[in-house]
Amino acid sequence: MSGFAPSVYNSPTMKVADLGEFGVIDRLANLIRSRRKKDADAFGFRLLVDAGDDAAAWLGPNATHLFTTDTMVDGVHFTTAHSGWRDVGWKAMAANVSDVAAMGGLPLYALVTLGLPKDFGTRAIDSLYAGMLDLAEECRFSLIGGDLVRSPVIFITVALVGATGETPLRRDEAVPGDHVAVTGCLGSPAAGLELLRRGAEAAGPDAATLVQAHRRPSPHLSQGRALAGAGIKAAMDVSDGLTDDLSKLCRASGVSARVDAHRVPVDPALKRAFPHSWRDLALTGGEDYVLLFTAHPKVMEGVLPQLPHPAAVIGEIRDGEPGRVSVCDAEGNELPSAGGGWDHYR
């Protein structure tokens, strides 16, 4: 429950916004674990990864099952001022597939819930589904049903089941001395969104690259599989911003971390388009959907060449206040916190 006594939490005036998204999620994870029955498993399944990771996981007879859900709400997580419905569909699905990638798994079956007002056009529904099916084809999983409900605000919820033959990657396995690495460049999707906000979409090839990164992020499935196959234990995906998500991984593992800002990989297009703010975008931008992972330096050395795309070591896990992430420049001086992260309640 991370710092709130039940009596405070239960005061009649305490609101979601007071605790923030992640404060409430922590609270609920503890609540459901406290009422968990030991005999809930059946059919030979056994719960492996509980609430609080990218996906839940249970062990079956020939594979570990993964189960995740993610929602996008109009005006909170997306706006059609910046993306067409087909891109919105892709992204709603990509956020879920990325959660499965972060566990080292493959997506298998998805259910889609659309909350739509009465006057929502059927062509837009088709476009939403087309975007989701684009990703399903690319990543070889199946949409197998869902739900359609009337709602005054548009929302899209995906529930996704996946599987892995390896031990799932987890957030709570980082240990002091581990190196921290990422499977790809950071900051481009946030930069693309910023360009769209400025109405600068069509301003040359760099802008096109960044806008595409925002509209059609590709979950790092092959990277996640390679990490799990190589014996990596600690990983998560970067959806709320690098330092914010690294902080969550550290909190789950009870450790601190240092990030060397100059080692964080970015696309050259990002540096050119945002010569002053590219570093902040890379550290805190969000919706990157690359994987963040940690491993003993020796293990890391062996893993990096096995990855299908270049990955980069960007820092180190340390003893210290759980969840604290310090960001340093090339000379080792700590930079002021960039803040940020995507707690939509704060």
Site for a copy of itself in 10-69 (CB under 8 A): 10-19, 21, 24-25, 27-29, 31-32, 35-37, 39-45, 47, 50-53, 55-56, 58, 60-63, 65, 67-69
Is the CB of 63 or the CB of 304 nearer to a copy of itself?
63
Is the CB of 73 or the CB of 200 nearer to a copy of itself?
73
Q: How far is the CB of 152 from a copy of itself (least distance, A)?
A: 5
- Provide the token pair at 170: 């987890």
Residues 97/222, Cβ–Cβ less than 8 Å: no
Q: How far is the CB of 225 from a copy of itself (least distance, A)?
A: 12
Cα 48 to chain centroid, rounded: 20
Is the CB of 53 or the CB of 244 nearer to a copy of itself?
53
Q: How far is the CB of 196 from a copy of itself (least distance, A)?
A: 21
> With binding defined as CB under 8 A, does residue 231 bind a copy of itself?
no
- Provide the token pair at 35: 């009422």
Q: For residue 159, give every residue at least 6 positions away whose Cβ sits within 8 Å of its Cβ, in sequence order, or none.
A: 67, 68, 69, 96, 110, 111, 113
- By CB under 8 A, name the one of 92, 136, 180, 196 that touches a copy of itself: 136
> With binding defined as CB under 8 A, does residue 131 bind a copy of itself?
no
β-pair type (234-237, 312-318): unpaired
> With binding defined as CB under 8 A, does residue 142 bind a copy of itself?
yes
β-pair type (155-164, 106-116): antiparallel
Residues 190/217, Cβ–Cβ less than 8 Å: no
β-pair type (142-150, 234-237): unpaired
Q: How far is CA 314 from CA 101, 127, 230, 242, 260, in A?
A: 20, 38, 19, 11, 6
The greatest distance separating any two alpha carbons of the chain, rounded to the nearest whole angstrom, comes to 59
Residues 200/329, Cβ–Cβ less than 8 Å: no
**Contact letters for a copy of itself, residues 155-194 (x by CB under 8 A):** x-x-x-x-x-x-----------------------------
Is the CB of 20 or the CB of 320 nearer to a copy of itself?
20
Q: How far is the CB of 93 from a copy of itself (least distance, A)?
A: 12
Select from 108-116, 224-232, 242-250, 320-328 the region that touches a copy of itself (CB under 8 A): 108-116
Is the CB of 104 or the CB of 184 nearer to a copy of itself?
104
